[in-house]
A and B are shown apart, each in its own frame.
Chain A
């Protein structure tokens, strides 16, 4: 017996990247904008979606990712928007193969934007390409202002940062300047928003951004 060295040079995630690639291709052909919302448990991802969908500025569909339950999908369904729930059964992030299956269960006729709510987690969802146009980092003031530097990959990669629970700034002594200057150092190009999902304050600016991305996609 001897030892032979074999070069592989292949991405670890090659199989899943194929799914991401075909989602991206199909969504481009259909001119559907795909956004991947990522944030810790309870950051306000579903609440942000509810506020966004209520405004009905475009036709949306939603893919909900959770470890268990269909609770978030039920909340979205009550906004009268097509939704499909993925339960990862312990998996702490969504993968493109799961999303691809979920998209087949949705009727995408006349849909302009697909929102994917990832599993609540600031770490690994950032590592998996779902075929989205942009990742959106959703972070709440209650989590503390130091999160961007502690979880740099997401904040570095995302197309937008939505800071939720702005109504809680005084209660949690949120250091706003620190938060935004750290975001800026990681990702000067990201669109940046502060919202209060309960009163709806700041939501319009975010919805304008989604519409801007949608128009960009249609023109390209």
Chain B
């Protein structure tokens, strides 16, 4: 259950940002999370709602965008996707395989409510 740790990290990074910019209400938080990260969306949502109470993020929608696993062979250039990462290229057998997506754990963007006069 590392979802609580992730949510704590999200708040540690977003709350100072809200304070610095004077954002009193965040409407939406978009996260990009790779399949390999083994995050359970429901658990993340639950932790997020709990942690958001009484902060500018209270009531914000949490949009979790799952990024599927993609891998690429350095030797023959083949690219593929799948449920489980492979350590060997299915075409040429090379073990020089890069995981090009599926390990993301990023805060992508926010939507914040701003007074019309301070909108720049």
Question: Roughly how many angstroms separate A141 CA and B2 CA in the complex, as a whole number?
Answer: 26
* A residues near B119, Cβ cutoff 8 Å: 2, 4
* A residues near B38, Cβ cutoff 8 Å: 123-124, 126-127, 153
Could you tell me the distance in whole angstroms from the C-beta of B98 to the nearest C-beta in chain A?
12
Could you tell me the distance in whole angstroms from the C-beta of A182 to the nearest C-beta in chain B?
9
Counting residue pairs across A and B whose Cβ atoms lie within 8 Å, the total is: 107
Interface centre among A123, A149, A185 (most CB of B within 10 A): A185
Query: Counting CB contacts under 8 A, is A16 at the interface?
Result: yes
B88 with A15: CB separation less than 8 A:
no
B9 with A13: CB separation less than 8 A:
yes
Query: Counting CB contacts under 8 A, is A156 at the interface?
Result: yes
* B residues near A13, Cβ cutoff 8 Å: 6, 9, 105
* B residues near A3, Cβ cutoff 8 Å: 27, 111-114
Q: What per-residue 1/0 map shows which CB atoms of B91-105 lie under 8 Å from chain A?
A: 000010001000001
Question: Roughly how many angstroms separate A4 CA and B99 CA in the complex, as a whole number?
Answer: 34
B5 with A8: CB separation less than 8 A:
no
* B residues near A2, Cβ cutoff 8 Å: 113-114, 116, 119
Please report whether the interface of chain B is mostly helix, strand, loop or mixed according to DSSP. mixed
B6-31 residues with Cβ-Cβ distance < 8 A to A are 6, 9-10, 12-13, 17, 27, 31
Could you tell me the distance in whole angstroms from the C-beta of B5 to the nearest C-beta in chain A?
7
B37 with A153: CB separation less than 8 A:
yes
Q: What per-residue 1/0 map shows which CB atoms of A15-28 lie under 8 Å from chain B?
A: 11000000000000
Question: Roughly how many angstroms separate A28 CA and B75 CA in the complex, as a whole number?
Answer: 30
B116 with A1: CB separation less than 8 A:
yes
Given contacts A1-B114, A127-B38, A185-B87, contact A93 B5 (CB under 8 A): yes
How many residues of B sit at the interface, in one of the four size bands? 20 to 34
Could you tell me the distance in whole angstroms from the C-beta of A59 to the nearest C-beta in chain B?
33
Could you tell me the distance in whole angstroms from the C-beta of B104 to the nearest C-beta in chain A?
9
A3-47 residues with Cβ-Cβ distance < 8 A to B are 3-16
Query: Counting CB contacts under 8 A, is A50 at the interface?
Result: no
B112 with A4: CB separation less than 8 A:
yes
Residue ID in chain A nearest B1 by CB atoms: A92
Question: Roughly how many angstroms separate A4 CA and B13 CA in the complex, as a whole number?
Answer: 19
* A residues near B108, Cβ cutoff 8 Å: 7-9
18 contacts between A and B (CB under 8 A): A3-B27, A4-B111, A5-B109, A6-B109, A6-B110, A6-B112, A7-B109, A9-B109, A12-B6, A13-B105, A14-B13, A15-B12, A16-B9, A124-B38, A127-B105, A186-B85, A188-B95, A190-B87
